[in-house]
Structure 1
Amino acid sequence: MSLLAKLPLPSALTSRLDAVLSVLPSAIPRPLKWAFWALLILNWDGFPGVWHLRIIWPFIRFQWQVKLGKKWPNWRIGKDEFEFRSTRQFRASFNSSDSFGYHLSNSEYSVCLDHVRGPFAVQLVGEAYGIVGMTFAIGGVSLDFRKEIPLLTKFEIENRLVGHDRKWLYIETVFRSLPHPKTGARTTYAIALSRFVIKHNRRTIPPYRAFALTGYGAEHGAKNYEVVQTMSQKEKLAWLVGDDVGVKGKSIVCGPVERGMEGRSEWAGQVQIA
C-alpha cells in the first residue's frame, strides 16, 4: 500500500498527487520522488528567472503603461516628500534562510532591497519617471543588523526618504516584525540606508527639481503642477537637467536644494557621501 493510501486524504486529491509523482521515471523510489518535489516547493523562489521576473517586471509594466498613455492620479500635489512611506511584506523562506542559525540569510536583506527600492523611487517622483528614458542608479548601501529574522517568519519592510542633496537621494529601509496581535509592539530586525541618483541616460537629475516637477510643496506644489501639465516631455526633460528652462519652466518654484542633511550623522549605518 502506498503512503498516499494511508493518509486521510480525499480520493480526488490522492489521484492528483499520484499523477504528479508519475511525472518522474518509475525507476526512482517513491520517497525520493517526494523528496524531489518537496525540494522544489520549498525553494520555488530560487528558481532561475524568478528573481528577474519579480524585479524587472514592475518596471517593464510601468514603462509600457506610460507608452500606452496611461495616467495616474497625482497624490503628491501639495504634499511633503518626506511624508511618503511604502511598505511590503516578505517571509523568511527556506531558500532565503541559512542552515546554521535557521534565520534569514544576511545576503537576502539585499535581495529584499532590490524588490522595494525601485518601486519606491518610481512612486516618490512619479512624474519625472513618466519621461521615457528615466531611470536611477544605486551609489551605496549600508546595513545595520539588529536581530535575526527566524525561519518562516513574516516580516515587513518600510521605506522612507530621510534626505537629499544636489545629487543623491537617501532612502532608509527598516526591516521589522508585524505588529504583535495583543500589544502592537514591533521588533526592528535591521536598518538599511541607500543612496541613489535619478538619471536620464547619462544625465543626472537634481532631486529638488524632480520634486518640484512632481508637485510637492504645500505653498507652490499645486501651481507648479498646473504648469507641468502644459509641458511636453521634451520641455520637462530640458527643465529637469537645467539646459533650457523656457518660459514655462521659469514659473516653476523649486524647494530647497538640500533637505534633511543636517541630521545625517544620526542616520543608522551612514553611507559615505561623495
Structure 2
Amino acid sequence: MAGLWNDVVSCGQMALSLLSVRFLIGLALANIKNWHFFWTYNSTYFTDLDMSRGNISLVLFRQPFNPFPGPKHFIMILGGVQCVWRKEIAPYEKYELWTRVLSWDEKWIYLVSHFVKADVFVPGEYAMQPGPKEKKNKHGGIETKDPQKAVFASSIARYVFKNGRRTVPPEQALSRCGLLPADEAKSAEVERLRLKWLPVAQLKSGWDSVHGLFEPGELALGRYTDLWWR
C-alpha cells in the first residue's frame, strides 16, 4: 500500500557534542521516511520502523557489521520494540519517520523513533549530499514552535550487538565504529547525555517523556526516495 517515500538521516540538536568527524554525524540521529498511504494499519507502523532502524543501523555500523564470524565482526539483534500512538494518520496523509540513537547501557543500545507530520521540519544541510537542498515548509512554521504537536506516534527499540554467542558492549561497538569522541570534554558530554536519557529509553519516565524527545535538527546525511531520486 506504500507509495513513494523520501529518506533522510538527520542529526538532532545534541549532535554537536556527539559529532563523528568521519561520518559528519553523531549519536543523536534521525532517519526520516515520507510515505503516501491509502491507509495506515497498526502493522505498517512496525514495518516502517524496521526499515528506518535498519537504514540508520547500516549507516552507523556498516564497517564491522558482518554475519560471518570474525574477531571484530558483529551483528545487531532486535531485543524488543514498543510503540504508542498519539494521533491518527489520515488516509493519503504524508508523514515522516525520524529515528536516532538515544542511549545505551551495558547490554542494550536504544533507538527512539517518531512518526511526524511531513514537510514541517526541514534539515538545513545534508552532509552526504553537498549543496543547497531547500524545501519549503508547507505548514507555515506553526508547528516548529512546539515540535511535539507534529508527532503522530513514538517508539522505543532496543538492540544487542553479538559476535557469535558473545555480547559486544554497546560502548565498545560505538568506539569501534568511530562514533565516540576522543576528546575528554566531549566524551564527558556524551556520557552525561547517555545517563540523562537512559531512564527514558528504559521507559521508566513514561511515554510523554518519549514523545518529548523529538528534536528536529539542522544537519542531515541525505535525502533519498525509493527510486533514489531526490
TM-score range, shorter chain: 0.5 to 0.7
For 1:91, what is the secondary structure of its paired residue?
coil
Contact 1:157 1:176 in 2 (8 A): yes
Counterpart selection for 2:34 from 75, 89, 96: 89
2:181 and 2:101 map into 1 onto residues whose CA distance is: 17
Shift of the alpha carbon at 1:81? Answer: 4.2
1:126 and 1:76 map into 2 onto residues whose CA distance is: 16
Equivalent residue pairs, number = 158
Q: Does 1:112 align with 2:48?
A: yes
Partner of 1:149: 89
Shift of the alpha carbon at 1:176? Answer: 0.7
Shift of the alpha carbon at 1:80? Answer: 7.5
Listed as ranges, the gaps of 5+ residues in structure 2 are: 4-19, 121-136, 144-148, 185-189, 211-230
2:57 and 2:108 map into 1 onto residues whose CA distance is: 12
- Deviations along 1:80-135, whole A, 9 cap, x unmatched? 84333222222223xxx2xxxxxx11111011112111121122233322685532
Shift of the alpha carbon at 1:270? Answer: 9.1
Partner of 2:154: 191
Listed as ranges, the gaps of 5+ residues in structure 1 are: 1-42, 47-74, 98-103, 222-254
Higher helix share: 1
Shift of the alpha carbon at 1:177? Answer: 0.7
Shift of the alpha carbon at 1:267? Answer: 5.6
Counterpart selection for 2:102 from 159, 162, 179: 162
Counterpart selection for 1:181 from 138, 141, 148: 138
Higher strand share: 2
Change beyond 3 A, Cα 1:209–1:137: same
- Deviations along 1:150-178, whole A, 9 cap, x unmatched? 11111100001111011111110100111
Q: Which has the larger radius of gyration?
A: 1
Contact 1:77 1:217 in 2 (8 A): no
* Relative contact order, higher structure (CA 8 A, sep 6+): 2
2:206 and 2:109 map into 1 onto residues whose CA distance is: 13
Contact 2:101 2:112 in 1 (8 A): yes
2:58 and 2:48 map into 1 onto residues whose CA distance is: 17
**How large is the Cα RMSD of the aligned pairs?**
3.3
Partner of 1:232: none
